[in-house]
Amino acid sequence: TQLLEQSPQFLSIQEGENLTVYCNSSSVFSSLQWYRQEPGEGPVLLVTVVTGGEVKKLKRLTFQFGDARKDSSLHITAAQPGDTGLYLCAGHRTYKYIFGTGTRLKVLA
């Protein structure tokens, strides 16, 4: 059973465009994380959101945790080729992390 669904699965955009990736679940999580993974490497943590409704910004990336702590979004402003990669959300419950299906982003120069 896949508890975390990400959308879209694939996204190919031009440099400078904005985009939003969604992470949805019917389950409540104590926190939610976003990772970026590049080919041949392990995922790298971008952000952790803990409080319902929380918004965090990391340069051009904006992360939001849903009020009910069941969903999250990642918005990238003015995407750059360096943003290319696989974006993964992960919900944290007790000691376990449930990973989403992933969104593969390609930003074309």
Partner 1 sequence: GAGVSQSPSNKVTEKGKDVELRCDPISGHTALYWYRQRLGQGLEFLIYFQGNSAPDKSGLPSDRFSAERTGESVSTLTIQRTQQEDSAVYLCASSYATSYEQYFGPGTRLTVT
Which of 33, 64, 72, 84 touches partner 1 by CB under 8 A?
Answer: 33
Query: Is the Cβ of residue 40 or residue 82 nearer to partner 1 in the bound state?
Result: 40
DSSP-derived secondary structure letter, 83: G
Site membership for partner 1, residue 56 (CB under 8 A)? no
Measured CA to CA, the distance from residue 80 to residue 70 in angstroms comes to 29
The least distance separating partner 1 from the CB of residue 16, rounded to whole angstroms, comes to 26
Site membership for partner 1, residue 31 (CB under 8 A)? yes
Q: Answer whether the bond into residue 8 is a cis peptide, omega within 30°.
A: yes
Single-letter amino acid code for the residue at 10: F
